[in-house]
């Protein structure tokens, strides 16, 4: 059942979504940060809504199962007449003309307490499993949204790096063009610089394509308009450590305690246990049939008779117990075998989920550690490339070096900066994946 807190949170998220969607119609791009993306991810996603609808359905089925304990109440009135031949209890046949009418209410009970109880327990566990699966759907969508946001952030950062390189190369080309005009530089060097400028422009156009595709993927999962002009907050391009100071074994233990998949699998297993008891224990509990009705009955001979209005009070009641033998009752071996097989399947499914959860934790931890190491290596590479570029520029100014050396140094610096962006992106993705894997 949805709590008031969840409902109010959903309303706030939906309002935020509508506000963001309305701002996207403006000519300028809309800037979003990671916090906004995570809020929008669960606001209006149909996959999350579908999971919640299945949860609502499971809750209704659970309530319906428990309602079978309530007796049925009836209220009505009737009229009955007869004209013509009739046979009495002794076998005599004669002509009769009669009528009767009745009005009243009744309570009818047809209980199989064991079957009702265990089926209601199973339905309750299925509702609990659906609740955990709905939470899993929400977490999965948020995680996918975060990954797509980081893809967009990386594409935008790549564009910035290439654009910086293009600006510096163009400035260098203008200086070299002046030197060629003055006769102090070779035209071949100028052409090499122009070729480098063209490659940078081509890389920018390719980067813009990748950025726009990343925007479309992010807008899709956030359920915004497909042509939304989104831009990431550049302040998010920093390594963010969220799961530090814990060993892999500790995180696996936390994941098995916290992950909604584990809770859902355990609830399904409990549901199968209840179904198993339903096939063995429930048939041994007798069924109960009971009823009570009260009202009035009147009638008598037909038209022309003397007692047509003979109306008076009446009541009926009955009570019975019984056991069902055969299919669906006692000694139904096939039904028990089916329940045993389903319970074993649920147990195996729980083991599979447990193994998958452990693997996801190990994979996320491995990727996170690898990306963290790559960031450190890339920092060293960026520092070395910056110094190399500086030295190449100084040698070129003193006529000691060549243009090609400077261009190669600039190219190496650009690659090192891009590699660092990807390492930071992979690290942040891995940190979010690790947080999800642990169940936080």
| Strand 93-111, strand 287-301: pairing | antiparallel
Domain that includes residue 10, residue range: 4-70+113-286+326-438
Number of domains the chain contains = 2
- Segment 410-424 shows an average pLDDT of 90
Q: Looking at the structure, do residues 200 and 188 belong to the same domain, yes or no?
A: yes
Contacts of residue 133, defined as CB under 8 A and 6 or more positions apart, other chains included, come to 51, 54, 55, 260, 261, 264
Quote the mean pLDDT of the chain.
82
pLDDT: which is higher, 51 or 154: 154
More confident residue, 397 or 63: 63
Mean pLDDT confidence for 92-109? 80
Last residue of a domain, one of 300, 322, 344: 322
Helix (H) or strand (E) segment spanning residue 138: helix 113-182
Q: Is 70 exposed, middle or buried (CB count within 10 Å of its CB: 0-12, 13-18, 19+)? A: exposed
Task: Give yes or no: residues 305 and 173 share one domain.
Answer: no
**Model confidence over 55-91: pLDDT tens digits?**
888 888 787 777 777 777 778 788 887 778 888 888 8
Q: Assess whether 105 and 128 both reside in one domain.
A: no
Determine what percent of the chain is predicted with pLDDT higher than 70: 89
Residue 90 maps to which CATH number? Answer: 2.20.200
> Tokens 């450590």, residue?
241
Tens digits of residue pLDDT in 286-316: 888 888 888 777 777 765 545 556 777 888 8
Shared domain check, 277 and 399:
yes
Residue 155 has pLDDT above 90, yes or no: yes
User: Do 103 and 188 have their domain in common?
Assistant: no
Is residue 23 over pLDDT 80?
Answer: no
Considering only CA atoms, give the Rg of the chain: 39
Length of the chain: 440
Based on the fold, state whether residues 427 and 302 are members of the same structural domain: no
Q: Are strands 93-111 and 230-232 parallel, antiparallel or unpaired?
A: unpaired
Name the 3-class secondary structure at 6.
Answer: helix
Query: Within this chain, do residues 151 and 224 fall inside the same structural domain, yes or no?
Result: yes
Tell me: do 222 and 166 sit in the same domain.
yes
Q: For residue 366, is pLDDT > 50? A: yes
Q: Domain check: are 180 and 61 in the same one?
A: yes
Q: 267 and 168 in one domain?
A: yes
Q: Give the pLDDT score at 154.
A: 92
pLDDT at position 301, please?
74
Residue 352 Cα distances to 68, 84, 267, 355, angstroms: 35, 75, 15, 5
Q: What is the pLDDT of residue 397?
A: 65
When pLDDT is cut at 50, 70 and 90, the band that residue 18 belongs to is: very low
Q: pLDDT tens across 194-231, in order? A: 888 899 999 999 999 999 999 999 988 888 888 888 88
- Point out the domain boundary residue: 322, 343, 369: 322
């Amino acid at each position: 059942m949805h709590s008031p807190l969840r409902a109010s949170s959903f309303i706030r998220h939906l309002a935020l979504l509508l506000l963001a969607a309305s701002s996207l119609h403006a000519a300028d791009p809309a800037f979003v940060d990671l916090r906004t993306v995570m809020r929008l991810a669960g606001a209006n996603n149909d996959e999350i809504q579908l999971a919640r609808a299945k949860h609502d359905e499971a809750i209704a089925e659970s309530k319906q199962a428990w309602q079978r304990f309530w007796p049925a109440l009836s209220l009505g009135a009737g009229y009955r007449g007869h004209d013509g031949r009739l046979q009495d209890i002794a076998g005599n046949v004669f002509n009769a003309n009669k009528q009767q009418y009745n009005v009243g209410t009744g309570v009818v009970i047809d209980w199989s307490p064991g079957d009702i109880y265990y089926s209601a327990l199973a339905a309750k566990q299925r509702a609990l499993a659906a609740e955990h699966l709905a939470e899993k759907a929400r977490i999965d969508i948020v995680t996918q949204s975060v990954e797509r946001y980081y893809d967009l952030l990386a594409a935008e950062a790549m564009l910035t790096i290439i654009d910086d390189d293009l600006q510096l190369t163009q400035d260098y080309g203008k200086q070299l063009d002046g030197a060629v005009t003055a006769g102090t530089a070779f035209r071949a060097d100028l052409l090499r610089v122009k070729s480098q400028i063209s490659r940078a422009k081509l890389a920018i156009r390719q980067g813009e394509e990748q950025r726009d595709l990343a925007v479309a993927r992010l807008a899709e999962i956030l359920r915004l308009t497909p042509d939304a002009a989104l831009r990431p907050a550049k302040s998010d391009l920093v390594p963010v450590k969220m799961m530090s100071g814990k060993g892999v074994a500790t995180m696996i233990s936390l994941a098995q305690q916290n992950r909604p998949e584990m809770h859902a699998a355990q609830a399904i297993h409990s549901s199968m246990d209840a179904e198993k008891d339903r096939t063995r224990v429930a048939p041994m509990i007798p069924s109960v049939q009971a009823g009570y009705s009260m009202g009035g009955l009147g009638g008598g001979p037909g038209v022309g008779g003397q007692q047509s209005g003979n109306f008076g009070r009446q009541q009926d009641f009955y009570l019975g117990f019984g056991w069902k033998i055969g299919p669906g009752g006692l000694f139904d071996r096939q039904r028990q075998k089916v329940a045993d097989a389903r319970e074993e399947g649920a147990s195996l499914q729980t083991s599979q989920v447990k193994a998958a959860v452990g693997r996801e934790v190990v994979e996320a931890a491995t990727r996170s550690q690898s990306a963290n190491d790559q960031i450190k290596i890339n920092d060293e590479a960026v520092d070395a490339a910056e110094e190399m570029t500086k030295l190449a520029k100084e040698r070129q100014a003193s006529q000691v070096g060549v243009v090609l050396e400077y261009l190669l140094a600039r190219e190496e610096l650009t690659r090192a900066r891009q590699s660092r962006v990807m390492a930071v992106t992979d690290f942040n993705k891995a940190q979010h994946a690790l947080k999800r894997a642990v169940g936080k």
